[in-house]
Structure 1
Amino acid sequence: MKLAILLAIVAAVLAACARADRPPVTYAPLVHPFKGANLFHDIETAAAAWARANGDPDWVKPITDTPQAIWLTAPRDLDRLPAVIRAAASQRALLVLVTYYVPNRDCAGAASGAPDPDSYLAWIDRLADTLGTNKAVIIMEPDAIAADCYTDARAQLLREATYRLARAGHHLYLDAGHPKWRQPGQAAERLIASGIQAAQGFTVNVSNRQTTADSDVWAREVSKMTGDREFLIDTSRNGLGPPPGDEWCNPARQGLGERPTTDPGTGAAAHLWVKRPGESDGHCGGESTFGFSPRQAATLIANAQWVPENLRRRAGNERA
C-alpha cells in the first residue's frame, strides 16, 4: 500500500512538471464577428434549385428561406466563390464558409479530400487569394479533429492552414465534434494542437443531431480549456435531438432545429445551419445520393416545431 501511494505521488509530481514545462498558449484577440451581423442568404442552394424546378412549393420555404453555410469541398468550389462574395456584399451580410478538403477526409483514405498536404495548403492559399480583402467566417474541416484518424501530422497541417487564413484576416472556427464523440479535455487538447490559438473559436454538432442544450454545456467546458474561445452550434437538424442509437446517416427520426441567430442568448456566439438541411448524408437510410433529397427535406420540415402547422402538414403529405 505504501508503495502504491508513493507511486501515485511520483506520478502526480511528474504530471505537474510536464504541465509546467509546456510553453504558455497565447491566443489571438477575439473580435466577435457575429455580433450584430446579418447572415448571408444563398439563393443558389441545391434545395432552391429543386424548388425553382418544381414550381416553388411553399412547404420547402422553411429551408430555402433560411441562411446556411457554403461548403467548399474541392478546387472547383472556389470557382463560384467570386459570385458568392458579390452576393454577400450586396446583402451587406456575413459570409460563412466551410472548408472540407483535408487529406484523408472522413478517414476514407487517399481518395477522399486533397491528395496530399501540399495540395491542401495550395488550395487554402487559393481560397485566401480568392477572398482577398473580403473578410469571411471560415469553419475549418468538420470531423477532422475529432476523427479516429487524427494524428500529429494532421494537427500540424490544420495548424498551418488556420494560421495562413488567420493572417489573411479571416475569422476561423475549428470543428471540435460533438458531446457524444470526445471528452472536453481531449477535444481541447486537439484544438490547441491544431491551431485554435489563431482562431476565434470552434464549432459543435456540425452535421449531427445532438441537442442545442447538450452542445452548449459541452462547448462551455471546451472553451474554458481553450482560452475562452467563442463557439458556434449547428442547429440545422437537431430539432428532435439524437435519433435512436445515435444513428447519423439519414435517420428516419429527425427534424429541423431552431433557425440561425447571431443572438442566441446562450453561451454560443451564434447558432447556425452549417449542414444544409435536406442534403443527404450518403447512400444510406433509403437515400442513393449525397445531394438534395426532397423526401428528407419533407421529413425535416414536418418534424420542425417552429414551422407553421399548414406547411408541416404539406411537408408530411409530400413525405408520404
Structure 2
Amino acid sequence: MRLNGQRRWAAAGVAVATAVATFGVALSAPAGAAPGCRVDYKANNWGGGGFGAAVKITNLGDAVSNWTLKFSFPGGQRVTQGWSATWTQSGADVTAANASWNGSLGTGASIDIGFNGSYTGSTNADPTSFSLNGTVCTGLQPPTTTTTTTTSGDPNPDPGNRVDNPYVGAKQYVNPDWSAKAAAEPGGSRVANQPTGVWIDRIAAITGTADSRGIVGHLDEAVRQAAGSPLVIQFVIYNLPGRDCSALASNGELKATEIDRYKTEYIDPIAAILARPAYKDLRIVTTVEIDSLPNLVTNVTPRPTAVPQCDVMKANGNYVTGVGYALAKLGAVPNVYNYLDIGHHGWIGWDDNFGPTAELLFQAANASGSTKANVQGFIANTANYGALREPNFTIDDTVNGTSVRQSKWVDWNRYVDELSYAQAFRQRAVQAGFDANVGMLIDTSRNGWGGAARPTGPGPKTTVDAYVNGGKLDRRIHLGNWCNQSGAGLGERPTAAPASGVDAYVWMKPPGESDGASKEIPNNEGKGADKMCDPAYTGNVRNGNNLSGALADAPLSGKWFSAQFQELMRNAYPAL
C-alpha cells in the first residue's frame, strides 16, 4: 500500500540524539606552517542499537597528499559499514584512511566521510579525541553539545526521516544545462522548464564535463531552486563495469573486471557528495544502473538472444556486486531514494523474464552489504518508448476467437503497455521479498506517440494482427527497437502520484539527448556505433529481424540531437 507523505511508523517512543564535537588536531608541518585541523563528528541514533555518524575533516595546516584518521570508541561501539574512506577496527580503535580519489587535502579544505555502526546499552558516547597522520589533538576542545528530540513511532525509525513518496508535495529540479539546449530550439521554450534526470554516465561527469556541470554544481543549483521548500533532484547512476553488455551505443569506460574502480572512483565519491550537510534537505532520487540486471536474464546462454559479453558479466558477478554496492553506499545517505531499473514491458513482460528479473533484483538488493531497505522502488521504461497506456485493446481481447497475445506485435507477452507492466511488477517484486510499500516510476519522456499517425480507435476485427496494428499507439516497427525512434513524441508531463502504486511519471531521459550514434564517432567515453541506431539496419533476433526504425545521423549517446527533439515536440501527446 502506498501512503502519500510521511512513512507511517508503529506507535512507540524513540529518542533521536545528535552530538557535535569539534577538536583541534595537529598535522606534521614545516616550521612557519599553521598546524592543525578540525574534526566535526555527528552521530545520529535511530534506535535498536544502530546509529550513523558523519565525520568532517578540515585541514587547517599545510596541504597533505594522504591522510589517516584514528579514534577510539569509549563504549564498545562497532563500525558496520563505512564510506568515502577505508575503514578498519581493532577492538575499540578505529582507523579511516583516504580512498584513492580523496587523499589530497589542501589548506582549508574539508572532506566528508562517515559510517554506520552499532552499540549496546542505553548510551552511545562520542569519541573523546582524534588523531590525523599520527599526531594527537593538541588544540582546545570545546565541550560536546548534545540535543535530543523525542518522537513517537517505530523503535527503528528511518534516520533520514524519509517520506513514503519523495515526489508528493515537492518541486522537481530543472537542469539548467538541458533547459538551455531545449530553449534554444524553435518552440523549445514550451518544455524547457520541465524536470529531467541528470545522467552521471562516467567518472568525469562527477566533477563536470565541457558541456555539463558536475554533481556539486547541480546540487547547489537545486538548493537555490528549492528556496526552502521540498525539492526532488534526479540522478541516473550509470557506469557499471562492462556496462550495457548487449548494446554498443551505450558501452561505458570501465572494463568488465574493473569493479574496484567502479567502487572507489565512481560510487564512493558520488556518495560522499550526496552526504554533504548542505544538501540534507533535498530529496535525491537515484535511478540505479539501467539495463544491467535485466540483461543477465534475457541476453545470456542458452537464450537465442544471448550476447557473449552478457555471459561474461553473468559469470563474473560484477553487475550484481556493483548494484549492491551502489545501493549500500547511496542508501546510507538519509535523504537518498534508490529506484532500480526494470527495463520495459517489451523486454521483461514475458513469463520467463518477469519473475526471474524480480528475483535477480532482490539478490542484488541484498549484495555487497546492502539490504532491501535501500530500495525505494523501481523504474520502468527508462530511456525507452513503450506507450504508457494502450486504450484501444487489452491483453484479454480476442478476435474471431484468437487472443491478442498471438498477434505478431504482442507475441505472447503478458502486458501491452508500461502502466499495467509497472503495476504488475511491483506486486511480483513484493512477492520476491521487497517491502510492500515500494513504489514505481515510469519514464514518459518519449512515449507520447501523438501526431497524425496516432490511432483514434480500435483496429478492424478482420484478423488479430489488423486489430492490434490498427489500434496500437506505439508506432514502432518492433518492441525491440530502442534507438532514436522515428515518430516518437513527448509523453505525459512529470507528475507525482498519478496512479495506484506509482510514485511519479518522470522524464528520466532528457528529451533531445541521443540514444546512440548511427555511425562510428571518435570519443573517449567508451561509446561505439550500434547497428540498432542505423536506419538501414535490417535487425537481429532481439528485434525480430526488422528494420531498426532509428532516425538518421544521430550523435553519440547523451549528446544533443536537434532533429530528434523537434520530432518529439511535433508528436507530443498530450500535445504542446
- Measured against the shorter chain, the TM-score band is 0.7 to 0.9
Change (3 A) 1:264 1:242: farther
Query: Greater strand share, 1 or 2?
Result: 2
Partner of 2:203: 75
Give the direction of change, closer, same or farther, for the CA distance of 1:32–1:64 in structure 2 (3 Å limit): same
Give 1:138's aligned residue.
286
Are the aligned partners of 1:97 and 1:139 in contact in 2 as well (CA < 8 Å)? yes
| Residue 192 of structure 1: how far off its partner (Å) | 0.5
Q: Which has the higher contact order (CA 8 A, sep 6+)?
A: 1
- Is contact 1:63–1:277 with CA below 8 Å preserved after alignment? no
Match of residue 120 from structure 1: 262
Percent identity reads 29
Uncovered stretches (5+) of structure 2, i.e. residues with no partner: 1-157, 208-213, 300-309, 367-371, 390-416, 431-435, 450-473, 518-532, 534-550
Q: CA deviation at 1:226?
A: 2.2
Q: Find the aligned partners of 1:95 and 1:297 in 2 and give their Cα distance.
A: 22
Once residues 356 and 254 of structure 2 are traced to their aligned partners in structure 1, the CA distance between those partners, rounded to angstroms, is 26
**Counterpart for residue 162 of structure 1:** 327
Q: Distance in 1 between matches of 2:236 and 2:251?
A: 20
SS class of match (1:212) = coil
| 3-state SS in 1 of match to 2:171 | coil
Matched, 1:177 2:325: no
1:242 offset after TM fit, Å? 5.2
Task: Describe the SS at the equivalent of 2:378.
Answer: strand
Which residue number in structure 2 is paired with residue 12 of structure 1?
A: none
Structure 1 runs of 4+ aligned residues shifted over 4 Å read 108-111
Equivalent residues in 2 for 1:17-28 (5 A)? Answer: none
**Separation in structure 1 between the aligned mates of residue 382 and residue 262 of structure 2, nearest angstrom:** 21
Cα distance in 2, alignment partners of residues 292 and 185 from structure 1: 36
Distance 1:263 1:220, change over 3 A: closer
Partners of 2:253 and 2:345 lie apart in 1 by 25
Aligned counterparts of 1:89 and 1:221: Cα–Cα separation in 2? 36
CA contact (8 A) 1:209 1:242 kept: no
Contact 1:40 1:94 in 2 (8 A): yes
- SS of the aligned residue for 1:121 comes to helix
Letter in 2 for 1:90: R
1:174–1:201 contact (8 Å) kept in structure 2:
yes
Report the equivalent of 2:439: 230
1:245 aligns with 2:478: yes
**TM, length-normalised to structure 1:** 0.80
Residues 36, 163 of structure 1: alpha-carbon distance in 2 compared, 3 angstrom cutoff: same
1:205–1:233 CA contact under 8 A, matched in 2: yes
User: Could you tell me which of 279, 289, 294 is aligned with 2:555?
Assistant: 289
C-alpha contact 1:232 1:268 (8 A) present in aligned 2: yes
Q: Which amino acid aligns with 2:446?
A: R
- Which residue number corresponds to residue 102 of structure 1? 240
Q: What SS is found at the alignment partner of 2:261?
A: helix
- Following superposition, the deviation at residue 259 of structure 1 comes to 0.6
**CA separation in 2, counterparts of 1:49 and 1:300?**
14
In structure 2, relative to structure 1, the CA distance for the partners of 1:119 and 1:180 (3 Å cut) is same
Find the aligned partners of 2:486 and 2:427 in 1 and give their Cα distance: 36
Cα pair distance change 1:242/1:165, threshold 3 Å: farther
Counterpart of 2:501 (choices 267, 271, 287) is: 267
Q: Higher mean Cα deviation, 252-261 or 107-116? A: 107-116
Q: CA deviation at 1:184?
A: 2.5
Q: Secondary structure at the match of 1:95?
A: strand
Quick one: structure 1 residues 242 and 146, their matched pair in 2 at CA, closer, same or farther if it must change by over 3 Å? farther
Q: Tell me, in whole angstroms, the C-alpha distance in 2 between the residues paired with 1:193 and 1:215.
A: 24
Asked whether the equivalents of residues 159 and 194 of structure 1 are also in contact (C-alpha less than 8 Å), the reply is yes
- How far apart are residue 44 of structure 1 and its match? 1.2
The equivalent of 2:116 in structure 1 is none
Q: Does the C-alpha gap of structure 1 residues 88 and 286 become closer, same or farther in structure 2, counting only changes over 3 Å?
A: same
In 2: Cα distance, 1:137 partner to 1:111 partner: 23
Q: Alignment partner for residue 164 of structure 2, among 31, 43, 48?
A: 31
Tell me the SS of whatever aligns to 1:165: helix
The one-letter code matched in structure 1 to 2:477 is: P
Q: How many residues align?
A: 276
1:60 is aligned to 188
**1:43 match:** 176
1:193 deviation in Å?
Answer: 1.3
The 8 Å contact of residues 155 and 193 in structure 1, kept in 2 or not, is answered as yes
The amino acid that maps onto 1:191 is: L
Structure 1: tracts of 5 or more residues without a match = 1-27, 309-320
What amino acid sits opposite 1:175 in the alignment?
Answer: D
| Distance change (3 Å), C-alpha of 1:30 and 1:111 | same
Cα gap change, 1:297 to 1:195, in 2 (>3 Å)? same
Counterparts of 1:264 and 1:212 in 2: how far apart (Å)? 12
**3-state SS, counterpart of residue 235 of structure 2:** strand
AA paired with 1:166? G
Displacement of 1:30 in angstroms is 7.0
Question: 1:203·1:231 contact (CA, 8 Å) conserved in 2?
Answer: yes
* Separation in 2, partners of 1:266, 1:243: 27
Distance 1:242 1:193 in 2: 35
Cα 1:119–1:94 change in 2 (3 A) is same
SS at match of 2:217: helix
